[in-house]
Amino acid sequence: MTIQTVGIVGAGQMGNGIAHVFAQAGYDVVLNDINQDSLDKALATIGKNLDRMLSKGKITEADKAATLGHIKTTLVLTDLGQTDLVIEAATEREAVKSQIFETLVPHLKPTTILASNTSSISITRLAARTDRPAKFMGVHFMNPVPVMKLVELIRGIATDDETYTTMLEVVGKLGKTAASAHDFPAFIVNRILVPMINEAIYTLYEGVGDVTSIDMAMKLGANHPMGPLELADFIGLDTCFAIMNVLYDGFNDSKYRPCPLLAKYVEAGWLGRKTGRGFYDYSGETPVPTR
């Protein structure tokens, strides 16, 4: 299979990053969202990220122009039907993702590969709701996409070897490294990472330490570049909560129970950096702990 054109569903934090790296690698990208403002913001973000790379001497003005020239945007989901690869990067809700694939399927070429950027949802189950489970797999990029080198490749139970090999080659062409995972809840990275974050929230909830102490302890004591609560805000507390629920439901094991304090922050709409408040308040020049 030869991939030349790539459709991306969702122009948010992950979607615009995925569009960026594919366009920079020379693929023609069609970026879709239900909101024109989101598409405009995505292009602006890609432009800013390219400018940052330009200022560091990593790319030239010609590279920037070529990358932006590879990206087209659309509000019509079915416009992605004739691309060689479609990557869904919508919100982490299974019903939403399934509806996207069901809408796309009648408009796809027979050879089009379908992929989801899901961080935790069953690839096998999503694939089963399409007409091509053999040509469906998980392609989980890390955030921020242009910076992070890892991509998790997750094969559903029906994913064929040709699809896997094709996506392995694509990841290489993007200049990234693939980690192959089996289709179990949250795969590799988030199965290890998010329960650690959840445990940090329990440590806060139970009064063992405050926000500053917990993050400092892990940065200086475990050499983590970001503290777990700072990282939770960066990921999005709603995403962390969703992943913990997928783990809890998938394994029926109490060690994956989401911390009640995490649930409370999500209920309050304190979702981290994207809402301006989570375990830190981001309204000023310097983030301030909220607990």
Active-site residue (options: 119, 120, 122, 198): 119
- Reply yes or no: is the peptide bond before residue 144 cis, omega within 30 of 0: yes
Q: Residues annotated as binding site for NAD(+)?
A: 10-15, 33, 92, 97, 119, 143, 274
Q: Is 182 a catalytic residue?
A: no
Distance CA 136, CA 157 (A): 10
| Cα gap 13→254, rounded to integer Å | 31
115 touches 143 (CB < 8 A) = no
Length of the chain: 291
Tell me the Ramachandran region of residue 277: left when phi exceeds 0, alpha when psi lies from -120 to 50, beta otherwise. beta
The yes-or-no answer on residue 20 being catalytic is: no
Answer for the pair 179, 150: CB distance below 8 angstroms, yes or no. yes
The 8-class DSSP code of residue 60 comes to -
Q: Could you write out the DSSP letters of every residue in 94-113?
A: HHHHHHHHHHHGGGS-TT-E
The answer to whether 88 is a known catalytic residue is no
Which residues are known binding-site members? 10-15, 33, 92, 97, 119, 143, 274
Q: Which of the residues 32, 70, 116, 140 is marked catalytic?
A: 140
How distant, in Å, are the alpha carbons of 112, 186, 267 from that of 193? 32, 10, 22
What amino acid positions are annotated as catalytic residues? 119, 140, 152, 190
